[in-house]
Structure 1
Amino acid sequence: MGILRGIIDYLCTVVFSVLSATIVYTLMFLEGFGFASFRAISLFMLVAYLIFATPVQIFLNRNPQKFHGWYLVTYFIVSLVVCGILALLTDYGLIVFLWYKLYVFSFLLALVYWFWDSVFIQKN
């Protein structure tokens, strides 16, 4: 039963993080709120969280602590690096690092995952 509970907690963390991050992205970068774009953005958020946030979460979960500030800082640094690399790969160039929205968006993505991770996964 413990493994099943862990899987359910992890799935809840990912689902709520993806939905929250998609809403953040939609509010920050899109003019209108359409369901077609919501599904596509959700898919990209899901892939990003699975590839980048999950390994960090597994590493941090060796010493679980709810709402720990260093966990938020760690998630923010990883999020900033990933968002910066993706911005460079999509032809924005180095100018993107002068754009305040990169830092705000990276922080909000980290905050979303940190919050849901603390709610569902961290037990202490």
Structure 2
Amino acid sequence: MKKRNLAATLLFSSLTLGFIQYYNVGLFSMTFLIIAFAVYFFIPLLIFAVPLQYFLNKKPKKFSPVYFLVYLLMSLAANFLIFYLMSKPFQPPLHTRTEIYWYGVVSGIVYWLWDSICAQKKNTGQ
């Protein structure tokens, strides 16, 4: 697999998540936030998703439900870790905070979609 495919997946996923967060926040007059949110998502994707993508792409499968499930579970685990590290002492317990699940599911879907489009060049079946 080419490094360019990994970089394209990372870039497009970060930008897509930046757009989603931009529309979620609703500060439409501040378009620079799209780039700020993309950078915010770039770092966790680089740390957690790229190594997983490299491992999974040894046996490439486009739009594989198994790969989707793996990305989804790892995204949820990464979001729980990130929110745990950023939590303050008197916040509600992590398992009750819906934003963790929302970010985990959305980032898992977006990364799996861009991985299937950019990096999974051949379809070997299920």
**TM-score in terms of structure 1 length:** 0.84
Q: Does the alignment pair 1:8 with 2:4?
A: yes
Tell me the equivalent position of 1:27. Answer: 23
Q: Does the alignment pair 1:105 with 2:97?
A: no
Q: CA deviation at 1:68?
A: 0.4
CA RMSD of aligned residues (A): 1.8
The amino acid that maps onto 2:77 is V
Question: What is the aligned-residue identity percentage?
Answer: 28
2:71/2:112 contact within 8 Å kept: yes
CA–CA distance in structure 1, aligned partners of residues 8 and 60 of structure 2: 17
Give 1 or 2: higher helix fraction.
1
Q: Flag structure 1 segments of 5+ consecutive residues without an equivalent.
A: none
Q: CA deviation at 1:94?
A: 5.3
CA–CA distance in structure 2, aligned partners of residues 65 and 15 of structure 1: 20
Q: CA deviation at 1:45?
A: 1.2
The amino acid that maps onto 2:23 is L
Q: CA deviation at 1:105?
A: 1.7
**TM-score in terms of structure 2 length:** 0.83
Tell me the equivalent position of 1:84. Answer: 80
1:88/1:94 contact within 8 Å kept: no
1:76/1:106 contact within 8 Å kept: yes
1:25/1:105 contact within 8 Å kept: no
Runs of 4+ in 1 over 6 A off after TM superposition: none
**1:12-91 superposed matches below 5 A:** 12-28=8-24, 30-33=25-28, 34-91=30-87
CA–CA distance in structure 2, aligned partners of residues 78 and 45 of structure 1: 15
